Amino acid sequence: MKYTIGYFIKKFEDIPDDMWSVNGNVDRYGRKDVFGHCGTNPRVITPEGDAIMEILSEKEPNPFKSVFICAMINDGEGFAASLGKTPKERVLNRLKELRDKYGESEDFRDRAAG
């Protein structure tokens, strides 16, 4: 499967607002953050989870920084605070910014890091 910006916009638009969480993959009510919605957790990074990290961080070569950037977007911290009020809104707004910059079919796996 090719995980593109357009793929993730569609996927995340279809997830109800009340199924998003901050500060962790899955909370006790079954709500998930951006990683959890991609099947990723602290022990397992799925291909879909890897793709969303590459896209949201614009293929940041340092994997720890890439995770940190994605968590900031999901949780609305730092630069991401202005992206929206909810995790879903922030993630979708960031994806739409990237779509406007790179195009909907960009999946970042074909780009060189840096």
Render pLDDT for 50-98 as a digit per residue (tens, 0 to 9): 999 999 999 988 989 999 999 999 999 999 999 999 999 999 999 999 9
Q: CA-to-CA distance for 83 and 87, rounded, in angstroms?
A: 9
Q: What's the pLDDT band for 33 if we cut at 50, 70, 90? A: very high
What is the C-alpha R_g of the chain? 13
pTM, rounded to two decimals: 0.91
> Mean of the per-residue pLDDT values for the chain?
91
Q: HEC states along the chain?
A: CCCCHHHHHHHHHCCCHHHECCCCCECCCCCECCCHHHCCECCECCHHHHHHHHHHCCCCCCHHHHHHHHHHHHHCCHHHHHHCCCHHHHHHHHHHHHHHHHCCCCCCCCCCCC
Q: Sorting pLDDT into bands at 50, 70 and 90, what band is 106?
A: confident
The whole-number pLDDT of residue 110 equals 54
| Cα 11 versus chain centre, distance | 11
pLDDT at res. 5: 96
